[in-house]
Amino acid sequence: MLKRTSLLFLFVAGHFSLQAQQVIPFRITKHNNIIVKTLVNKKDSLDLMFQIAMKEGSISPERQRKADHLIFNKDGISDHNTVSIGKMTWKNIRFLDNQITGHEADGKIGTGLFEGKVFKIDYDNNQFAIYDEKPDLNGFQPVKIIFDQDAFYIPADNIIDDHQQQEAYFVLQSGYSGGILYSNEFAEKNELSNKLRITGEKKLKNSNAENLIIKQGVLPFWKLENFVFKDIPVGFFTGEQQTQKVSYFGADMLRRFIWIFDADREMAYIKPSKYYSEPHYKIN
């Protein structure tokens, strides 16, 4: 009887370990940015924007809250910091100084919070979940990803007109409030200025505080695995500044799915979130 009880305990304990997780709450701004409340170095309470395209953290020159306990060297780097969210604390987090961030944020925090772990971005419940093993993937569709220099790349099909379909890789970019933003190379190669219905132009400021002109147009179809978006607003930069080296899959598109990333950063698993069919974000 004792042996059977012990085996049952081991089974239950093993099952619990498989599903064990930590949860980090967040809020979403009207600009689609994810904000996490943090305590840095046990002293500075900061609202940090989650940036999926970076590993470390950063502080904005336009922050509303003090960050007096982050000490930067002459290169604008601060090492060996702690970041606390609720009862969880991470050590040896690097911060960069003077980087522009999203609305309502004092800076940014990246995927270093999830290093070596499976993590979920759950837009339905406004939380991250951290797992030791893959959770239940029922209802999720796998997407092959490339993880390079702390950025996630996904492939998607771009149907520009009746005769032209182009595959392109997009960097997941939660700091860009819009949806699809094309690289200069893709926009010029595929003559987007001539082939898309243009709806307007806007002036944006990048993380280096440089002013850039973005043209907005309508793409007939955009396809990620089995998910197809019709008449989707897209953006691309114009002018002599050829600064957009990669295409972005921005926060407006990210929020339309619930995401699970494996620990090896080789696969993502997605399913529609409650925002899947929401109107697209308009860049102001």
Q: What is the pLDDT of residues 190-214, one digit of tens each?
A: 999 899 999 998 776 666 666 778 8
Sorted by where each begins, the domain ranges of the chain are: 20-131, 141-272
Per-residue pLDDT of 234-261, as tens digits, reads 999 876 666 789 999 999 999 999 999 9
Burial of 230 (0-12, 13-18, 19+ CB in 10 A): exposed
CATH architecture of 20-131: Beta Barrel (2.40)
In this prediction, residues 67-86 reach a mean pLDDT of: 95
> Residue 183: what pLDDT?
94
CATH code that applies to domain 141-272: 2.40.70.10
The CA angle 233-174-275, to the nearest 5 degrees, is 60
| Residue in this structure with the two tokens 């569709």, named with its chain if needed | 141
What is the pLDDT, as a whole number, of residue 205? 65
Q: pTM of the entire structure? A: 0.88
Mean local confidence (pLDDT), 142-152? 96
Mean pLDDT computed over 261-274 = 97
Residue 26: its pLDDT value, please?
97
pLDDT at 75: 95
Per-residue tokens: 283: 């860049």
pLDDT on residue 213: 81
Return mean pLDDT, the chain.
89
- What is the model's pLDDT at position 214? 86
> Can you give the pLDDT at residue 284?
67
Report pLDDT for 69: 94
Contact 193, 235 (CB under 8 A): no
pLDDT digits (tens, 9 = 90+) for 106-126: 999 999 999 999 999 999 999
57-59 and 27-28: which strand pairing? unpaired
Which runs of consecutive H residues, i.e. helices, occur in the chain? 2-19, 184-189, 192-195, 251-254
Rg of the chain on CA atoms, in Å: 21
What is the residue-wise DSSP string for 66-96?
Answer: --TT----TTSEEEEEEEEETTEEEEEEEEE
Q: Which two tokens stand for residue 188?
A: 């010029």
Please say whether the dihedral angle defined by the alpha carbons of residues 169, 172, 175 and 181, taken in this order, is positive or negative: positive
Q: Give the pLDDT band (50/70/90) at residue 222.
A: very high
The yes-or-no answer to whether 20-131 and 141-272 have a common fold is yes
Compute the average pLDDT of residues 165-183.
95
Q: What is the pLDDT of residue 29?
A: 97
Which one, of 272, 270, 21, 244, lies nearest residue 131 by Cα? 21
Instruction: Read off the amino acid at residue 251.
Output: A
